[in-house]
Amino acid sequence: MASDGRRRRRLPLSLRRNAVAWERQRPTWRDAKPALIAGALKRAQARPSGNWYVVGASRDVGGDRPLGRTVAGQEVVVWRDTGGRVVAGPGVCPHLGAPLRDSPVRCGTLVCHWHGLSLNGGPFAGWEPFPAHDDGVLVWVRLDAVGGEEPLDAPVVPRRPVPTRALSAVYAGAGVCEPEDVVANRLDPWHGAWFHPYSFVDLTVADTPESAGEDAFAVDVSFKVAGRLVVPVRAVFTAPEPRTVVMHIAEGEGVGSVVETHATPLGPDASGRPRTAVIEAVVAASDRRGFALARAAAPVLRPLVRAASGRLWRDDLAYAERRWALRSTGRFPGA
């Protein structure tokens, strides 16, 4: 594998010869054993999260409006105090219940737009802050009443490339499903080249938690760039906590880059069905010269990365929603 990896690093872009038509690629369903995916999901769910939930992108917190999010039915507002520190708390004004997500932030203070009650992030008039954490890419809030686990001082943040040499983008979407449906989708790497042929080709699952010593899926896959141009990589998928699946690029172009998928329960919709947010952070790294230019062009690239991610997630959310729809009616074949 090492020599193969070296070859890949010299030639990041490959021209796909002997391209196999979509319908003629090897079926993966025999390898994608429902029990194997269910086992990986169960182990992920057993890991501690310390009651931390991803609520959004760090760069979306700041400015003159708080970030408002409902997590498991609990309204939450997040903003930055005068020192730039992220603070969070309930999104219901303690006076007469105004939705604080619609209130402005003035000089680090959230000012209720109904009668002017001011919150600086500390406890006030019955309003109690929630612990908040800014990891530089994502903002997390700790909700002990929702999570019900032993609280942890900080969330389980995946290992990432050094920020100064990385480009990050965050995509957020939502669907009718539970966090476990999002995680189960990510723990099924076999669907990649079948379900997303516009992005992935030549996919082989090289290691599963059964074959490898660690609880990870290793996948050899090529990202489609344009036409027959592809970037072959080895990607390793792990679930460090119950609502996160991380893909590390272990070999090939962008080695060290990560794509983190975080599932945050939002609460029921009008029909009582669960809704879940998918917040995906792409933290791309490269030691190639061109990448310094790519970083400088970050404001332009970011929407592109997000759009690519958005296309994948439209399909993956459909997968997660389908899984929930079948599960909730006792029709899921992988149960």
Told to check if 181 binds Fe ion by CB under 5 A, we report no
d(CA 113, CA 119) in angstroms, rounded, equals: 12
Per CB under 6 A, the list member of 40, 77, 112, 201 interacting with ligand FES is: 112
Contact 87, 121 (CB under 8 A): yes
d(CA 304, CA 300) in angstroms, rounded, equals: 7
Per CB under 5 A, the list member of 37, 316, 323, 324 interacting with Fe ion is: 316
Minimum CB distance to Fe ion smaller for 72 or for 218: 218
Contact 239, 156 (CB under 8 A): no
Long-range contacts made by residues 115-123, C-beta under 8 angstroms, separation at least 24? 117/93, 119/89, 120/81, 120/82, 120/87, 121/79, 121/81, 121/85, 121/87, 121/89
Dmax over Cα atoms in the chain, in whole Å?
Answer: 69
Told to check if 124 binds ligand FES by CB under 6 A, we report no
Residues from 172 through 231 that contact ligand FES (CB under 6 A):
none
Least Å from the CB of residue 96 to ligand FES:
4
Task: Report the b/e string of 305-327 with b at 16+ CB within 10 A.
Answer: bbebbeebbeebbebbbebbeeb
The structure tokens listed for 94 are 């303690």
With vertex at residue 234, the alpha carbon angle to CA 135 and CA 241, rounded to the nearest 5 degrees, is 35
Least Å from the CB of residue 319 to ligand FES:
42
Which range in 106-114, 127-135, 314-322, 326-334 contacts Fe ion by CB under 5 A?
A: 314-322
Told to check if 188 binds Fe ion by CB under 5 A, we report no
d(CA 312, CA 199) in angstroms, rounded, equals: 8
Which range in 10-18, 82-90, 111-119, 144-152 contacts ligand FES by CB under 6 A?
A: 111-119
Minimum CB distance to ligand FES smaller for 117 or for 284: 117
Partner from ligand FES, Fe ion, none contacting 98, C-beta within 5 to 8 A by type: ligand FES
Told to check if 90 binds ligand FES by CB under 6 A, we report no
Which range in 43-51, 93-101, 224-232, 247-255 contacts ligand FES by CB under 6 A?
A: 93-101
Length of the chain: 335
Residues 6+ apart with CB under 8 A from 23: none
Partner from Fe ion, ligand FES, none contacting 316, C-beta within 5 to 8 A by type: Fe ion
Which range in 113-121, 142-150, 219-227, 239-247 contacts ligand FES by CB under 6 A?
A: 113-121
Per CB under 6 A, the list member of 98, 156, 206, 301 interacting with ligand FES is: 98
Which range in 8-16, 89-97, 160-168, 204-212 contacts ligand FES by CB under 6 A?
A: 89-97
Contact 143, 130 (CB under 8 A): yes
256: phi then psi, degrees, rounded to nearest 5: 95, -20
Chain positions contacting Fe ion, by CB under 5 A: 316
Chain positions contacting ligand FES, by CB under 6 A: 93, 95-98, 112, 114-117
